[in-house]
Amino acid sequence: MLEIQGIWADYGGAPVLRGVSLDVAAGEVVGLVGPNGSGKTTLVRAVTRVMPLRSGEVRLLGEDVRTLTRAALARRVAVVPQNPALPEGFTVLEMVLMGRTPHLRLLQSEGPSDLAAARRSLTQTGTTALASRFAHQLSGGERQQVVIARALAQEAPVLLLDEPTSHLDVGHQMAVMGLVRRLCQERRLAVLATIHDLTLAALYCDRLVLLDRGAVAAEGSPDSVLRPELIASAYGAEVTVLRHPASGRPVVVPLPPEADSPQAKGGIAALEPAGGGQTAAPRGGPPSGDGRRDGGER
Amino acid sequence: MRRARTLPVPDPHADAFAGKEAFALPGVRPLRVHLLLALVAVLAAVLVGASQGSVDIPFTTVVRILVSKVLGLGSVTWPETWEEIIWQIRLPRVLLAGLVGATLAFSGAAYQGILRNPLADPYLIGVAAGAGLGATIVLVSPLPYAFGTLSLLPPAAFVGAVLAVSISYGLARSGGVAPNVTLILAGVAVSAAATSAMSFLIMANHERVATVLSWLLGGFNTATWQKVGIVLPYSLVGGVAVLASARLLNVLQLDEEEAQQLGVPVERVKLLVIVAASLATAAAVSVSGLIGFVGLIVPHTVRLLWGFDYRRLVPMSMAVGAVFLILADLAARSVLSPSEVPVGVITALCGAPFFLWLLRRHRPACSAGRRAVF
For the segment B199-246, what is each residue's pLDDT rounded down to a tens digit? 999 989 888 888 888 888 888 988 889 999 989 999 999 999 999 999
Report DSSP letters for B64-123, one per residue.
HHHHHHHH--S---S-HHHHHIIIIIIHHHHHHHHHHHHHHHHHHHHHHHHHT-TT--TT
| Cross-chain Cβ contact B371/A86 below 8 Å | yes
Residue B264 has pLDDT above 50, yes or no: yes
| Nearest CB to B308; choose among A50, A81, A88 | A88
Using a CB-CB distance cutoff of 8 angstroms, which residues of chain A are in contact with residue B258?
A: 79, 81, 84-85
Give residue-wise pLDDT tens across range A119-152: 999 998 888 999 889 988 998 888 888 999 999 9
Q: Please give, rounded to a whole number of angstroms, the shortest distance from the CA of B326 to a CA of chain A.
A: 29
pLDDT-derived band of residue B146, with 50, 70 and 90 as boundaries? low
Does residue B360 fall inside a structural domain?
A: yes
Please give the residue of chain B at the shortest CA–CA distance from A47: B261
Using a CB-CB distance cutoff of 8 angstroms, which residues of chain A are in contact with residue B370?
A: 88, 136
Does residue B373 fall inside a structural domain?
A: no
Residue A292 has pLDDT above 70, yes or no: no
Does residue B374 fall inside a structural domain?
A: no
Residue B21 has pLDDT above 70, yes or no: no
Give residue-wise pLDDT tens across range B274-305: 999 999 999 999 889 899 889 999 999 999 88
Q: Which residue range(s) make up the domain with B350?
A: 2-367
Please compute the mean of the pLDDT values over residues B23-27 and round it to a whole number.
Answer: 54
Q: Where are the alpha helices (DSSP H) in chain A?
A: 40-47, 70-76, 92-97, 112-125, 140-153, 170-187, 198-204, 222-225, 228-235, 262-268
Strand (E) positions, A238-287? 239-243, 250-254
Chain A / chain B CB contacts < 8 angstroms: 158
Within an 8 Å CB–CB cutoff, is residue A85 touching chain B?
Answer: yes
Roughly how many angstroms between the first and final C-alpha of chain B, as a whole number?
A: 38
Q: What is the pLDDT of residue B142?
A: 79
**Stretch (H or E) spanning B126:** none
Q: What is the pLDDT of residue B71?
A: 83
Residue B19 has pLDDT above 60, yes or no: no
Q: What is the pLDDT of residue A279?
A: 53
Average pLDDT, chain B: 84
Q: With contact defined as beta carbons under 8 Å apart, do A1 and A177 qualify?
A: no
| Cross-chain Cβ contact A91/B26 below 8 Å | yes
Please give the residue of chain B at the shortest CA–CA distance from A122: B14
3-state secondary structure of B368: coil
Residue B368 has pLDDT above 50, yes or no: no
pLDDT-derived band of residue A67, with 50, 70 and 90 as boundaries? very high
Q: Please enumerate in sequence order all residues whose Cβ is within 8 A of that of B296, keeping only pairs 6 or more positions apart, or say none.
A: B108, B119, B120, B121
Please compute the mean of the pLDDT values over residues B96-100 and round it to a whole number.
Answer: 96
| Nearest CB to B1; choose among A71, A175, A246 | A246
Q: What is the pLDDT of residue B29?
A: 54
Please compute the mean of the pLDDT values over residues A190-219 and round it to a whole number.
Answer: 93
Q: What is the pLDDT of residue B345?
A: 87
Using a CB-CB distance cutoff of 8 angstroms, which residues of chain A are in contact with residue B10?
A: 126, 129, 175
Q: What is the pLDDT of residue B76?
A: 79
Does residue B57 fall inside a structural domain?
A: yes
**What is the percentage of chain B residues whose pLDDT exceeds 70?**
87
Within an 8 Å CB–CB cutoff, is residue A174 touching chain B?
Answer: yes
Using a CB-CB distance cutoff of 8 angstroms, which residues of chain B are in contact with residue A248?
A: 1
Q: What is the pLDDT of residue B374?
A: 26
Does residue B182 fall inside a structural domain?
A: yes
Query: What's the number of domains chain B is made of?
Result: 1
Does residue B372 fall inside a structural domain?
A: no
Within an 8 Å CB–CB cutoff, is residue A175 touching chain B?
Answer: yes
Please give the residue of chain A at the shortest CA–CA distance from B374: A85
Q: Please give, rounded to a whole number of angstroms, the shortest distance from the CA of A260 to a CA of chain B.
A: 31
| Cross-chain Cβ contact B247/A109 below 8 Å | yes
**What is the percentage of chain A residues whose pLDDT exceeds 70?**
86
Assign residue B327 the CATH number of its domain. Answer: 1.10.3470.10
Give residue-wise pLDDT tens across range B150-177: 778 888 999 999 999 999 999 999 888 8
Q: What is the pLDDT of residue B114?
A: 93
| Cross-chain Cβ contact A137/B251 below 8 Å | no
Please give the residue of chain A at the shortest CA–CA distance from B29: A109
Using a CB-CB distance cutoff of 8 angstroms, which residues of chain B are in contact with residue A45?
A: 257
**CA gap B78, B66 in Å, rounded:** 12
Q: With contact defined as beta carbons under 8 Å apart, do A91 and B309 qualify?
A: no
| Cross-chain Cβ contact B26/A110 below 8 Å | yes
| Cross-chain Cβ contact A110/B11 below 8 Å | no
Within an 8 Å CB–CB cutoff, is residue A91 touching chain B?
Answer: yes
Closest CA to A145 of A125, A119, A166: A125
Q: What ipTM score was computed for the predicted complex, to two decimals?
A: 0.82
Does residue B277 fall inside a structural domain?
A: yes
Give residue-wise pLDDT tens across range A34-46: 999 899 999 999 9
Q: What is the pLDDT of residue A178?
A: 92
